[in-house]
Amino acid sequence: MKIGYIRVSTIDQNLARQEELMVKLGVEKIFADKMSGKNTKREQFQEMMKFFREGDTLYVESFS
């Protein structure tokens, strides 16, 4: 399965550009967070890690 993870740093920022890219890439399941990336205690990041299985492919727009 193609899985996408997208994130912006604040609730005021928009995920639309990253969502569009995931759709173009044919990503089937997208997890999104609106919070700082300084640690991994992000709700959707944790959910993605639980969901991810061997054979899945993870798509990330950038590692910033």
Coil, strand, or helix at residue 36? coil
Verify whether residue 9 is a known catalytic residue: yes
Look up residue 63 and give its DSSP letter: -
Distance, first Cα to last Cα, the chain: 24
Return the CA Rg of the chain.
11
Q: Which residues are catalytic?
A: 9
